[in-house]
Structure 1
Amino acid sequence: MKIIHLAAALTVGLTSIAGAISAQAHGIWFAQRAKQTALIYGVGADDLDVVKRLGLVTGTYGYDADWAPVGATLRVAGPIVLVDSEAPTVAFAAIMDNGLWSRTPDGKWLKGGRDTVPDAVLAERTMKYAVHLTGTPNSPIPALPEQVLQIVPVDKTLPVEMGKPLKVRVLYKGKPVKDAALKHDFVNDPDQPPVKTDKDGVATLKVRNQGLNVLAATYVGPSDNPKQIDHIEYLATLSFVLPHAPE
């Protein structure tokens, strides 16, 4: 009987962990699809259905080489969502409001706050942010006003080879934030132990790929409605591509 109870407890525990991962770990980033820039939603190799979540995307932005705004829009192309711009860009950005989620005592995540899930052991709002470099800007990435959480390289230029150190700063509402959790490869190694930012919001990572790199930062901020949610979880990505050797 004790063995059965232990197995049941382990099952509940694993279900809780899986639920936590599914509700909190997903993010948005940009990547190339057939030589066009697409907005991706998922975690790791899970490239999930962003078309049905398109209504959750509350902002899409483009920037030129001097970080002046360029009009950008999203367009459904079959099972993916592509981004179009009104003029040449060196960067795109986006915001997704993933809404309210509550975890029940049995480890399941349900859509809604404490008003719809009164027995929740945790209730949160999840916000997703993304910045993607498509070219080489004339100046370092600034604090972008629409990005509540943002990863910004500290140095003026990015490394050009994998394995090189990359120092970044995580900004929350434009200011450095301590103890944000950083991962250097959100796509190929999403379960890696995160690196925490220091008191200046800074952490140093190694560039993971000679190709697409998607850095991710997570930060838990205060609730804007304590009766409904316990906190707001922010997940931000910074993506860029290192060129491969000539063919």
Structure 2
Amino acid sequence: MKRMKHLLAAILAIAALGGGMAAQAHGIWFAQRAKQTALIYGVGADDLDMVKRLGLITGTYGYDADWAPVGATLRAAGPIVVVDSEAPTVAVAAAMDNGLWSRLADGKWVKGGRDTVPDAVRAERTMKFAVHLTGTPNAPIPVLPEQLLQIVPVDKTIPAEMGKPLTIRVLYKGKPVKDAEVKHDYVNDPDQAPVKTDKDGVATIKVRNQGLNVLAATYVGPADNPKQVDHVEYLATLSFVLAHAPE
């Protein structure tokens, strides 16, 4: 009986840990809102309050067709956050430091690391990154230094039709990372089983939608401050739109 109790406790602990993973799985991505490019914070269909999180954005970036920088900023427009740029862009990007989070024994997440939540069963820093293609660049997506975690298509072009294979590479600080978890539709199917990258950081998925596609990659890296957190979780998205048939 005692052994069974210990086994049950272990199973419950593992289940709670899995629930904790889901609780911290929010990311950022770009999508069109009323013909403007908006920055979204959420997971799946959740479109949460990005305005109140605007102060967590550490950088906003724009690029022209040759990947030369174009000045870009974020602006609160009512309940959403939109991108303003100094010139036309074919890509925009953002970085977000979502801070320290600790999970309590009851599964609840609270802000702070182990230094402020000493009874935490898990503590982490969460960093979010996003790259969005607003047009067709003249060259493949390069390594963008501000994107600590980044999804880069291996092929020169992205397929024009849903269902086609797309091979991507996940980079951590510009270098391929093994065992990053990739999801091919972060918005419409956030609970899908992820595909893991190989030793070269490569994974192949199928383009999911004839419309907005939001790919997501997650990588758990070492703690930047072991006294505060157990690890740093990085979540990066790559979004693009496939054109639909003429009306």
Q: TM-score range by the shorter chain?
A: over 0.9
Q: After TM superposition, where is structure 1 displaced by more than 2 Å over at least 4 residues in a row?
A: 9-20
Report how far residue 104 of structure 1 moved: 1.2
| Residue correspondences, number | 240
Residue equivalent to 1:240? 240
Confirm or deny that 1:53 pairs with 2:53: yes
- The separation in 1 between residues aligned to 2:169 and 2:134, in whole angstroms, is 20
Shift of 1:227: 0.9
Q: Measure the CA separation in 1 of the matches of 2:237 and 2:59.
A: 15
- Looking at structure 1, the residues matched to 27 and 137 of structure 2 have their Cα atoms a distance apart, in angstroms, of 25
> Do the aligned residues in 2 keep the contact of 1:12 with 1:107 (CA within 8 Å)?
no
User: How far has the Cα of 1:26 moved from its partner?
Assistant: 0.1
Alignment-derived partner of residue 100 in structure 2 = 100
1:172-183 aligned at under 5 Å gives the runs 172-183=172-183
Matches within 5 A, 1:84-95: 84-95=84-95
How far, CA to CA, are the matches of 1:65 and 1:78 in structure 2?
30
Match of 2:74 in 1: 74
1:55 counterpart SS class: helix
What amino acid is aligned across from residue 195 of structure 1 in structure 2?
V
2-structure distance, mates of 1:17, 1:198: 23
State how far apart, in whole Å, the 2-side matches of 1:203 and 1:14 are.
27
> Which residue of structure 2 aligns with residue 123 of structure 1?
123
Gaps of 5+ in 1: none
**Following the alignment from structure 1 to structure 2, what is the Cα–Cα distance between the partners of residues 236 and 112?**
22
Cα deviations by residue, 1:73-94 (Å, 9 ceiling, x for unpaired): 0011110000010001000000
Q: Which amino acid aligns with 2:158?
A: L
For residue 21 of structure 1, what is the aligned residue in structure 2? 22
1:165-186 residue CA offsets vs partner (Å, 9 max, x unmatched): 0000000000000000000000
CA contact (8 A) 1:12 1:106 kept: no
Compute the displacement of 1:20 (Å). 3.5
1:210 aligns with 2:210: yes
* Percent of pairs with identical residues: 83
**3-state SS in 1 of match to 2:98:** strand
Matched residues in 2 for 1:119 and 1:58: separation? Answer: 30
Q: CA separation in 1, counterparts of 2:170 and 2:197?
A: 7
How big is the shift at 1:18?
Answer: 4.2
Q: What SS does structure 2 have at the residue aligned with 1:53?
A: helix
For residues 20 and 147 of structure 2, the distance between their equivalents in structure 1, rounded to whole angstroms, comes to 27
Q: TM-score, normalised by structure 2?
A: 0.93
Superimposed CA distance per residue, residues 174-232 of structure 1 (whole angstroms, 9 cap, x where no aligned partner): 00000000000000000000000000000000000000000000000111111111110
Amino acid at match of 1:88: P
Please give the residue correspondences for 1:152-163 in structure 2 after superposition, counting only pairs within 5 Å. Answer: 152-163=152-163
Task: Extract unaligned runs of 5+ from structure 2.
Answer: none
Is contact 1:17–1:107 with CA below 8 Å preserved after alignment? no
TM-score, L = length of structure 1: 0.93
Partner SS for 1:139: coil
SS in 2 for 1:52: helix
The one-letter code matched in structure 1 to 2:22 is: I
What is the CA–CA distance in structure 2 between the aligned matches of 1:174 and 1:127, rounded to whole Å?
16
Q: Report the RMSD for the aligned CA atoms in angstroms.
A: 1.7
